[in-house]
Structure 1
Amino acid sequence: MKLLAPLLVLFALGVQRSCSSGDDLIYGYECQKSRCVKVELDSQNFQKAISLPVCRIFCSGDVPGTIWPRPSGLVDFDSYMLAVDPSNIEFHLPTLSKQSQLWTASKERFMHLLYAVVPNKNVLRKGGRPLIVSVELTSTLDDVVPRLTLDTDESYALQISSGNGSVATATISANNYFGARHGLETLSQLLVYDDIRREIQILARANIEDKPAYKWRGLLLDTSRNFFSVKSIKRTLDAMAMVKLNTFHWHITDSASFPFEVKSQPELYKLGAYSPRKVYSHEDIKDIVEYGRVRGIRVMPEFDAPAHVGEGWQQKNMTACFRAQPWINYCVEPPCGQLDPTVEELYPVLEDIYREMFELFDPDVFHMGGDEVSVSCWNSSERIQNWMLQKGWGLNEADFIRLWAHFQDEALKRVDAVAQPNQPSINLWTSHLTKVPYIDEYLDKERYNIQIWTQGNDSVIQEILKRGFRVIISNYDALYFDCGGAAWVAAGNNWCSPYIGWQKVYDNNLDTIAGQYRAQVLGAEAAIWSEEIDEYTLDSRFWPRASAFAERLWSNPNESWTSAEARLLFHRQRLTDYDIGAEAMQPEWCLQNENECPINALNAKF
């Protein structure tokens, strides 16, 4: 990556005009030794001083400092800004009829992002250059509604150009909708508001080639322990789109509640939801799935089984240890409950659930859970014991793992029945079933991806990888964002405390975790399990840590978190501009006085 033009004093703004509407401002910024330095404004330096966003574009080295995540390929730009007339932006978008709604929504989102950083539209200066935003797709063979899959090419190229006094042009080239959408997101981060001259500005020339390092870049949200409104989920999707995360893993049900509307089995949600108002209807889900598609995000459902079921199944007589007490003897947290694999009538019910999920989500990858199955729960059921003994099995751990594998095989048959004509990839959590020797006996590496939630240095990761399985990394010591806080079933702190800082998230290098098997890593997910989190604390738990996570997955930087701190601090401010309640990282003084807050380890004196 190379910055072509020198950064000297930045007189060449193309907007060197006095502005009486800026008389109320008393400070601006200058780029000094690759740092944005705050300066008081006076008649001598007014023309030289620039706003903080403009300074961050030029003063962050070889990449414009307003772009998050950092582009992974060629970045080349000139140190010259142009004023843009936001009321005179013309879009040349693909004319594929089945994608028209997506392009219309993307255009509206782009304009919303543009104006969100302007404190008061009424003070915007008149004039500025027209801007043409042109999107060119290199593959238009099929006019279809685009579907994000593991094979989707999300790369894009962005070129910004202008002639003397002419229209500014931004051209985005991509293979498909999803890559082009990422290009639009990057372009929106290069349109900044100069609060000295009260105008929108853009780079006069730039060339960016960009693509993600990992194809699976996700956030998991558990909506069972606490319910999250559609509005709060959409807000999460909005923030994910800003940082090019592409998978929303929806852990939609669990033992605590069943808020998913299953029309063919209505007692599940009628008995299992916290209230009739806390149900995700088919209309809600379709809305969320399409909202995600516009933002380049697959919405993937998880139906966790055979453990983590309970509420909603009261009338089915298909569970074991339902609400058992003392719960600690039967499950990892209350309320307890596991499906009973010996009940033949269970599997048609599962097929109904799967069918409606596939109709609503159309997933290319489906998550079947498989987490924290309790042998003691199943062993407490006389019905299960008798079934196993009649088959000539014993009642030791290996026999119960065999029962688990029986359930998995039968459930998978139902998934495949409703997913026709396609066979989706299946995600499973690391568990006893994914340990040696059971993984060799019961799981097919061609069908199953393993989502790893153990610690990043756990030896089980290498055991899974060397068997050829593809993995998704969610090591809890870096990517469980609910960690840190009071325990909710006892005194003290919750089980995975302490709180995980964004620095550890940023430095959670998947290459280090995977070693020689890096090619088998699809990507990673950061997770929020919602025992102690609801929609009122959702934003601050995800953001800006999920942004640090996003840059790790998109760019896979060689540098540590220290090189990203100033950029992330600025990005966090942008999140709040877009009404994302991102947690504060530092006092605002640190934002306005770049690199004055971090400790310099070489010079620090204590």
Structure 2
Amino acid sequence: MLPSEPDLAAKGSYGSEMLYSPADVATIVRFGLDHGVRVLPEIDSPAHTGSWAVAYPDIVTCANMFWWPAESEWADRLASEPGTGQLNPLNPNTYQVLKNVIGDAVALFPEPFYHAGGDEIIPGCWKADPAIQSFLSENGTLSQLLEKFVNSTFPYIVSLNRTVVYWEDILLDANVKVDPAIVSSSEFYYLDCGHGGFVGNDSQYDPPPTSGGGGNGGSWCGPFKTWQTIYNYDIAYGLTPAETKLVLGGEVALWSEQADPTVLDVRIWPRASAMAETLWSGNRDESGKKRYAEAMDRLHEWRHRMVNKGIKAEPLQPLWCIKNPGMCNTVHPST
């Protein structure tokens, strides 16, 4: 619950038992630092702000509307998944509320970064608002709306001595210039992929497949990202040396639509460890070959260490393999 905007949580949360007080946040941040973990929240905006409409209905467009209107094309959707609502860039009240949120978040989290979101900004949601319709009818553009939003918030965040983090939706807009990047590819680094979609009556399952294999199982980013897929990814592949210098690092992502504490450990570990080794130490040996075999041995042993610490990490191999190093490879260790 943010001190400057308590109604956002009090009115927009799922329930009073699901609120974080400033004291709760301080405890989490301190616990993380004590264990080598830096806590950085993402305050997503302008999209994914439907809950804000409960406290401030005037600053949110298309709130609580059905996300994919009947008989409409995908391009005309109001959101990329259920749960609509985007902050209105034309309403001055938007920026007063948002600046209060930013100020409180900066005070609560000591990190030098501020994750401002910018994810999945859907044109249809903005087009549903009468004021924005009028703006567009007078030769205004959606890109100008986004530019106005960024230009009204980015300088304020920077003035608080924070480096701003955005999703690629901001980076790819021609009128918004942001250079350094952190890589989080849905093709390699999304840990919730391959578990099926969470929307109901999904036509991807009808008619039934002719066999049990293949396809994405209704998951937009399927198939499942194995540790090998993650380990194989070179985040600077195809970039020039100058472009590579702009890549600050990478991150795996696990979204909460189909993940909660009951499955958290097994979804994250040890796959996140594969990414960590790749980014910290590289995934190739001195000759340039990928180190799958030795990485498997390390990750397998590392997984058992985590289990011994009470972390429910997913198994990678049968126990026999750790008792017989190298014997579970496709190439015999003596060759």
Give the counterpart of 2:267 among 529, 541, 558. Answer: 541
**1:564 partner SS:** helix
CA deviation string 1:443-489 (max 9, x = no partner): 2xxxx4xxxxxxxxxxxxxxxxxxxx221111111100011112211
Q: Write the distance in 1 (CA, Å) between the matches of 2:331 and 2:32.
A: 42
Alpha-carbon shift at residue 602 of structure 1 (Å): 11
Question: 2:233 matched to which residue of 1?
Answer: 508
Question: 2:144 matched to which residue of 1?
Answer: 402
Please tell me the residue identity of whatever aligns with 2:49: V
Please tell me the residue identity of whatever aligns with 1:393: N
Question: 2:209 matched to which residue of 1?
Answer: none
Question: 2:282 matched to which residue of 1?
Answer: 556
Give the counterpart of 1:299 among 34, 39, 62. Answer: 39
CA deviation string 1:130-155 (max 9, x = no partner): xxxxxxxxxxxxxxxxxxxxxxxxxx
Question: 1:360 matched to which residue of 2?
Answer: 108
Alpha-carbon shift at residue 375 of structure 1 (Å): 1.0
Q: Write the distance in 2 (CA, Å) between the matches of 1:264 and 1:590.
A: 56
Please tell me the residue identity of whatever aligns with 1:502: W
Please tell me the residue identity of whatever aligns with 1:522: L
Give the counterpart of 1:567 among 276, 298, 302. Answer: 298
Q: Write the distance in 1 (CA, Å) between the matches of 2:171 and 2:318.
A: 45
RMSD over equivalenced CA pairs, Å: 2.1
CA deviation string 1:339-358 (max 9, x = no partner): 11111111111111111101
Question: 1:475 matched to which residue of 2?
Answer: 185
Identical columns (%): 32
Alpha-carbon shift at residue 593 of structure 1 (Å): 1.7
Q: Write the distance in 2 (CA, Å) between the matches of 1:362 and 1:385.
A: 40
Question: 1:314 matched to which residue of 2?
Answer: 54
CA deviation string 1:530-570 (max 9, x = no partner): 11111110000100001111111111142422221111111
Runs of 4+ with >3 A deviation:
none
Q: Do the aligned residues in 2 keep the contact of 1:306 with 1:370 (CA within 8 Å)? A: yes
Please tell me the residue identity of whatever aligns with 1:556: G
Greater percentage in strand = 1
1:512-527 residue pairs with structure 2 within 5 A? 512-516=237-241, 517-527=243-253
Please tell me the residue identity of whatever aligns with 2:171: T
Alpha-carbon shift at residue 601 of structure 1 (Å): 7.8
Q: Write the distance in 2 (CA, Å) between the matches of 1:515 and 1:285.
A: 41
**2:44 partner SS:** strand
Please tell me the residue identity of whatever aligns with 1:507: N
The answer to whether structure 1 residue 484 and structure 2 residue 222 are counterparts is no
Alpha-carbon shift at residue 513 of structure 1 (Å): 4.9
The answer to whether structure 1 residue 528 and structure 2 residue 254 are counterparts is yes
Max Rg structure: 1
The answer to whether structure 1 residue 428 and structure 2 residue 135 are counterparts is no
**1:358 partner SS:** helix
Alpha-carbon shift at residue 308 of structure 1 (Å): 1.1
Q: Do the aligned residues in 1 keep the contact of 2:67 with 2:81 (CA within 8 Å)? A: no
The answer to whether structure 1 residue 591 and structure 2 residue 322 are counterparts is yes
Please tell me the residue identity of whatever aligns with 2:185: N
**2:92 partner SS:** coil
CA deviation string 1:195-245 (max 9, x = no partner): xxxxxxxxxxxxxxxxxxxxxxxxxxxxxxxxxxxxxxxxxxxxxxxxxxx
Alpha-carbon shift at residue 268 of structure 1 (Å): 0.8
Q: Which moved more, 1:364-373 or 1:485-494?
A: 485-494
Q: Write the distance in 2 (CA, Å) between the matches of 1:510 and 1:335.
A: 31
Question: 1:230 matched to which residue of 2?
Answer: none
Question: 1:5 matched to which residue of 2?
Answer: none
Q: Write the distance in 2 (CA, Å) between the matches of 1:370 and 1:326.
A: 18
Q: Do the aligned residues in 1 keep the contact of 2:157 with 2:164 (CA within 8 Å)? A: no
1:513 to 1:577, Cα distance in 2 relative to 1, 3 A: farther
In structure 1, runs of 5+ residues without a counterpart are 1-260, 449-468
Question: 2:211 matched to which residue of 1?
Answer: none
1:144-155 residue pairs with structure 2 within 5 A? none
Q: Write the distance in 1 (CA, Å) between the matches of 2:176 and 2:299.
A: 44
Question: 1:497 matched to which residue of 2?
Answer: 222
CA deviation string 1:100-139 (max 9, x = no partner): xxxxxxxxxxxxxxxxxxxxxxxxxxxxxxxxxxxxxxxx
The answer to whether structure 1 residue 380 and structure 2 residue 106 are counterparts is no
Question: 2:157 matched to which residue of 1?
Answer: 415
Greater percentage in helix = 2
CA deviation string 1:490-546 (max 9, x = no partner): 244211111111111112122325343322211100000111111110000100001
Give the counterpart of 1:581 among 312, 321, 334. Answer: 312
Please tell me the residue identity of whatever aligns with 1:266: P
Q: Write the distance in 2 (CA, Å) between the matches of 1:599 and 1:333.
A: 41
Question: 1:274 matched to which residue of 2?
Answer: 14
Q: Write the distance in 2 (CA, Å) between the matches of 1:544 and 1:270.
A: 37
Q: Do the aligned residues in 1 keep the contact of 2:293 with 2:326 (CA within 8 Å)? A: no
CA deviation string 1:273-323 (max 9, x = no partner): 111111122111111212222233322221111111112422312111112
Provide TM-score, normalisation by structure 2.
0.85
Q: Write the distance in 2 (CA, Å) between the matches of 1:416 and 1:427.
A: 11
Q: Do the aligned residues in 1 keep the contact of 2:67 with 2:84 (CA within 8 Å)? A: no
Q: Do the aligned residues in 1 keep the contact of 2:326 with 2:333 (CA within 8 Å)? A: no
Q: Write the distance in 1 (CA, Å) between the matches of 2:314 and 2:176.
A: 43
Q: Write the distance in 1 (CA, Å) between the matches of 2:237 and 2:126.
A: 38
In structure 2, runs of 5+ residues without a counterpart are 70-76, 206-216
Question: 2:213 matched to which residue of 1?
Answer: none
Q: Do the aligned residues in 2 keep the contact of 1:350 with 1:414 (CA within 8 Å)? A: no
Q: Write the distance in 2 (CA, Å) between the matches of 1:594 and 1:280.
A: 46
CA deviation string 1:176-203 (max 9, x = no partner): xxxxxxxxxxxxxxxxxxxxxxxxxxxx
**2:55 partner SS:** coil
Q: Do the aligned residues in 2 keep the contact of 1:321 with 1:377 (CA within 8 Å)? A: yes
Please tell me the residue identity of whatever aligns with 2:239: A
Please tell me the residue identity of whatever aligns with 1:532: Q
1:85-484 residue pairs with structure 2 within 5 A? 261-316=1-56, 317-327=58-68, 329-389=77-137, 392-394=138-140, 399-417=141-159, 419=160, 422=161, 424-431=162-169, 433-435=170-172, 438-439=173-174, 441-443=175-177, 448=178, 469-484=179-194
Please tell me the residue identity of whatever aligns with 1:299: V
**Equivalent residues, number:** 306
